[in-house]
């Protein structure tokens, strides 16, 4: 099964560009189907009210639950003090399977990481080239899986991307997606040094063409077993089973050191 680990959906409210205006899925779905992509992780476009934006994404997931996995988009600054409740709603009400954070909104915080740990959710965090934060996250939250999109930099900062490869190779709970990576040899290096278990296919749809992004993975010339990992196996392992009916105690969210180690985060580390 081919799974796209990175796609936006729904309406934004900023009107500064496509990324915060609207992320329509019609063309993306046609292109993805033609390319053989069977499932997709979706999350909101940039928004000033992610609670509302996440509910719109949830309605899309409900309309086709066999096609989509939902991730909750969070703003570390604007949603401060409300993260635990937003994540609880995302999992228990919407059946979401992960968290998305973007440094454009604000740097990730312990509040977000604690919620991810409590609910055993992977975190897709766009560091915008600030890859040193991935090192700190990996060491502070060893039982949380962090997926760094664009190999660390959508802006084609090759220094940041090369630095992330080193972090990928050393930390079992840090992963990268391939969306928007233009320097192909860096993908080759990432697979060689960190292993195919640490790389996830992603397209950054609907704005990037999923078939073109998929061809980068095909061009790596991986062994069939390794290609299957990159094209969906790694992501499915990180997602684990749905947690819709499960949840931590209130104390587990506010004091994560007292919480029981989560099976999904632990398995993600063990499987490395």
Q: Give the DSSP per-residue string, 26-68.
A: HHHHHHHHHHTEEEEEEEEPS-S-HHHHHHHHHHHHHH-TTTE
pLDDT for 264 beyond 90: no
Q: Which residue has the tokens 């290609």?
A: 227
Q: Where are the domains of the chain?
A: 2-270
Q: For the domain bounded by 2-270, which CATH number is listed?
A: 3.20.20.140
What's this model's pTM, rounded to 2 decimal places? 0.90
Q: Which residue has the tokens 């680990």?
A: 5
So what's the pLDDT on residue 242?
Answer: 78
Q: 212-224, pLDDT tens digit by residue?
A: 999 999 999 999 9
Quote the mean pLDDT of the chain: 91
- pLDDT class of 96 with cuts at 50, 70, 90: very high
pLDDT for 89 beyond 50: yes
- Angle, helices 210-219/184-194, rounded to nearest 10 degrees: 50
Give yes or no for a contact between 190 and 198, defined as CB atoms under 8 angstroms apart.
yes
Q: 109-144, pLDDT tens digit by residue?
A: 999 999 999 999 999 999 999 999 999 999 999 999
For residues 51-78, give the mean pLDDT: 98
């Amino acid at each position: 099964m081919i799974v796209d680990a990175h796609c936006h959906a729904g309406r934004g409210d900023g009107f500064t560009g496509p990324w915060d205006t609207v992320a329509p899925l019609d063309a993306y779905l046609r292109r993805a189907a033609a390319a053989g992509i069977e499932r997709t992780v979706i999350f909101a476009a940039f928004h000033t009210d992610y609670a509302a934006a996440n509910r719109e994404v949830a309605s899309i997931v409900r309309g086709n639950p066999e096609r989509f996995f939902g991730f909750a988009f969070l703003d570390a600054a604007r949603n401060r003090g409300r993260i635990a409740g937003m994540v609880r709603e995302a999992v228990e009400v919407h059946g979401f399977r992960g968290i998305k954070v973007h440094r454009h909104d604000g740097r990730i915080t312990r509040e977000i990481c604690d919620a991810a740990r409590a609910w055993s959710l992977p975190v897709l965090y766009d560091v915008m080239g600030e890859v040193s934060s991935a090192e700190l996250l990996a060491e502070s939250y060893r039982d949380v899986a962090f997926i760094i999109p664009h190999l660390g930099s959508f802006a084609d900062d090759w220094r940041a991307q090369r630095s992330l490869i080193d972090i990928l190779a050393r930390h079992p709970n840090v992963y990268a997606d391939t969306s928007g990576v233009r320097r192909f040899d860096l993908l080759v290096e990432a697979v060689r040094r960190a292993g195919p278990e640490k790389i996830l296919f992603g397209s950054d749809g609907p704005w990037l063409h999923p078939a073109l992004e998929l061809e980068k993975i095909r061009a790596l010339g991986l062994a069939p077993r390794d290609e299957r990992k990159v094209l969906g196996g790694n992501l499915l392992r990180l997602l684990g089973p749905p947690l819709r009916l499960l949840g931590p105690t209130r104390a587990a969210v506010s004091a994560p050191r007292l919480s029981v180690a989560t099976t999904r985060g632990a398995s993600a580390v063990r499987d490395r």
